[in-house]
Structure 1
């Protein structure tokens, strides 16, 4: 070593430091690759992505190779720095060389490359995968031996490297990812995706038209009143019942009696009963995705929602189901108005699930389905207009009510709620 010029020793040391930086940076880059983007690139035929994915299928082997190379070049660099220090300053140069080398390795071979790798993993990971693939084959016996011992130690703690699988996203994690797409996705489309994610847990009870809002026709009414109702009805499918909505005899599609309807001299109740569609009854706990499939199989678009006693609780149509999943597409939410100061004016009949989806709040959905029901359950009474309260860390004010329910609620801006505890 004494015969080798210092310039060559410094050059070799620089190369070793660069190799150390490569091993450190590529390790971080490969381990922090977005696995879902990686899968997408693999499907697109990206060759580097394919190599990286193969390496990551057995991270124990990949890490064994990287750490083998990294430790080798670091130890060799340390020995070389010691020789250079002794040749320049004698025995006193050993400690100085060790200190300087530690600082240089820390900055240029660890922190800097790892920071770059964490911020831009694909820049280092993809080129590195081309280098590690042949190296893994070349040094496989050494890597296998190292992994054999390391994996044996891990088995003591119940960890098996051969059974490694990349963890999948759960529903809440997937929702968090959707919520973080502000710069690339409008709020309207985010709400659609959130609705689809919630599809598994939503039931027909969450989106049905409640019993008191069902527009139907009592077949026992005079024919003149029935004709008037039919002409003014805003819907194309109408439930026909006897005396009570609990005694529905069928659904009438206006298209089937359009001609007779405007010929009132010949129109009679028999024209209605002859064109009725047999009603279907849907348990209120039926999941949305199952009801969509049921409508498709039965070739139906509307049904009555019943409770465990068979009493009608509401009405649901295919349009309701689709709107419950994707929300309003063509128009703004009519029952939820957001103001510039961050407050919301909300109709009492709005479902808790829909409000959560639009505001990204976490109001409970296990109990009452509407905002009206949630507030009444919380207070155990129907509050007067003007009442203010804190509920689930949100400050709100009752704007209006009728005899039986809250009709409008104003949720104040979130900044007002900070630092205020819930009742």
Structure 2
């Protein structure tokens, strides 16, 4: 074989090796969701790629047989074609034996470098830029190769299967999609500008519904406006005016004996029609949904769907009322900053870049979000900021008590009958202020 033929053969071997490198990396990197989308759009080759991903053993066996065979053949051809020329070149300065060794090493280095660059690195990086497109383009030739090399593929595949069984390893990749995978994709989409930061936060909040308990979104017991069954018309009217809500629990004797609830629309209708309001009227008082305080927001949402209600009373293990929750409370948790009630805004008040005033009953997830934190210590032991202070102090907090954690100081500002009303949260190492300076003459 002359020198020109050898160079052409080396070039052909590099191209062949590059093809198999693209085939290998594109199958491994192809996203199943994108392939499924391409298949649904009518690309039959995408369906073939999906089937190969389910059973990739024969595919990768062909890749390895071809790449190793091409590499060995390339070394043989390259050494035979280039070594004599480099040996003659080095004989100008070296002895025959030394020149032969130098010629062999030089040809080996050049051939190896060409294969590394053009048959491995470049095609693999090319395949990673658009793995799904590359995979559907090479699947046809690869299936032809699998058919042509079927005997060899069978032998090596059985050997590989035996090794997997010997070491008790999974032979198929796990393509299950988890919530963490989806959140990672949305975060990547936010960084790429595809999703707005608030939209990404809404998606993250949806997945939190199955981890956040209903206590984190409910209105606390001491903030519930309720009626007693025997309240007269005048008392009911005064309470509606003083505490205007859409729904009121109706109790027998005290708040821990809830018998139902009344909708403000029904009350207003009676007022407008100059009819007396009596909560002993069973037609006015509706059956109330009672849910345990250990349920997650996702479970409460499912119960709302099943009973076609949007209001529930929360009770603890001792059947005592601890709060109430509405469908709007759950949706506010999902939507976050996109929708907020005045009550939500009052719970976390940002004073400046480095300090916040936070109500003690604020859920710990909302505190983490406001402070841009990922976690707080012993999170499983409490659900509110007040609970965090109690767990950290190991007692009922008093005014001026403080907890320092990380770069934050949590200081109790107000306590009302053992209830923590306000907590001042400050950064110990403040961030530089971004507030513009006041114009001259103003302060």
Give the TM-score taking structure 1 as reference length: 0.85
Tell me the SS of whatever aligns to 1:276. Answer: coil
Pairwise CA distance, 1:271: 6.9
The answer on whether the counterparts of 2:402 and 2:412 sit within 8 Å (CA) in structure 1 is: no
Distance 1:166 1:145 in 2: 25
Which residue of structure 1 lines up, in the alignment, with residue 71 of structure 2?
Answer: 74
Tell me the SS of whatever aligns to 1:116. Answer: helix
Q: Which moved more, 1:94-103 or 1:5-14?
A: 94-103
Pairwise CA distance, 1:48: 4.0
Distance 1:13 1:414 in 2: 63
Q: Deviations over 1:372-408 (max 9, x none)?
A: 22122212342535x65433x3513437323220424
Q: Deviations over 1:231-284 (max 9, x none)?
A: 3432121112244211223211122232432577x6253576651113332111
Which residue of structure 1 lines up, in the alignment, with residue 174 of structure 2?
Answer: 166
Q: Which moved more, 1:130-139 or 1:270-279?
A: 270-279
- For residue 387 of structure 2, the aligned residue among 367, 373, 376 is 373
- For residue 322 of structure 1, the aligned residue among 324, 331, 338 is 331
Q: Which moved more, 1:241-250 or 1:145-154?
A: 241-250
The answer on whether the counterparts of 1:239 and 1:248 sit within 8 Å (CA) in structure 2 is: yes
Tell me the SS of whatever aligns to 2:169. Answer: coil
2:147 counterpart of 1:137:
yes
CA spacing shift, 1:138–1:326, aligned 2, 3 Å? farther
Give the TM-score taking structure 2 as reference length: 0.81
The answer on whether the counterparts of 1:343 and 1:413 sit within 8 Å (CA) in structure 2 is: no
The answer on whether the counterparts of 2:349 and 2:356 sit within 8 Å (CA) in structure 1 is: yes
The answer on whether the counterparts of 1:341 and 1:413 sit within 8 Å (CA) in structure 2 is: no
Pairwise CA distance, 1:78: 0.6
Which residue of structure 1 lines up, in the alignment, with residue 91 of structure 2?
Answer: none
2:357 counterpart of 1:348:
no
Which residue of structure 2 lines up, in the alignment, with residue 407 of structure 1?
Answer: 422
How do 1:101-120 residues align onto structure 2 when only pairs under 5 Å count? Answer: 101-120=111-130
Which residue of structure 1 lines up, in the alignment, with residue 375 of structure 2?
Answer: 362
Which residue of structure 2 lines up, in the alignment, with residue 177 of structure 1?
Answer: 185
Which residue of structure 2 lines up, in the alignment, with residue 420 of structure 1?
Answer: none
2:45 counterpart of 1:33:
no
The answer on whether the counterparts of 1:389 and 1:397 sit within 8 Å (CA) in structure 2 is: yes
Q: Which moved more, 1:150-159 or 1:64-73?
A: 150-159
Q: Which moved more, 1:366-375 or 1:235-244?
A: 235-244
Pairwise CA distance, 1:80: 0.4
Question: How many equivalent pairs are there?
Answer: 408
Pairwise CA distance, 1:125: 2.9
Which residue of structure 2 lines up, in the alignment, with residue 281 of structure 1?
Answer: 290
The answer on whether the counterparts of 1:353 and 1:365 sit within 8 Å (CA) in structure 2 is: no
2:107 counterpart of 1:97:
yes
Tell me the SS of whatever aligns to 2:157. Answer: helix
Distance 1:378 1:7 in 2: 80
Which residue of structure 2 lines up, in the alignment, with residue 303 of structure 1?
Answer: 312
Pairwise CA distance, 1:27: 1.4
Distance 1:40 1:344 in 2: 46
Tell me the SS of whatever aligns to 1:300. Answer: coil
CA spacing shift, 1:68–1:339, aligned 2, 3 Å? farther
The answer on whether the counterparts of 1:38 and 1:53 sit within 8 Å (CA) in structure 2 is: yes
Tell me the SS of whatever aligns to 2:361. Answer: coil
CA spacing shift, 1:242–1:40, aligned 2, 3 Å? same
Q: Deviations over 1:200-251 (max 9, x none)?
A: 2333223221111111124555543321112343212111224421122321
Tell me the SS of whatever aligns to 1:23. Answer: helix
List runs of 5+ in structure 1 lacking aligned partners.
417-423
Which residue of structure 2 lines up, in the alignment, with residue 419 of structure 1?
Answer: none
Pairwise CA distance, 1:85: 2.6
Pairwise CA distance, 1:179: 3.1
Q: CA RMSD in A?
A: 3.0
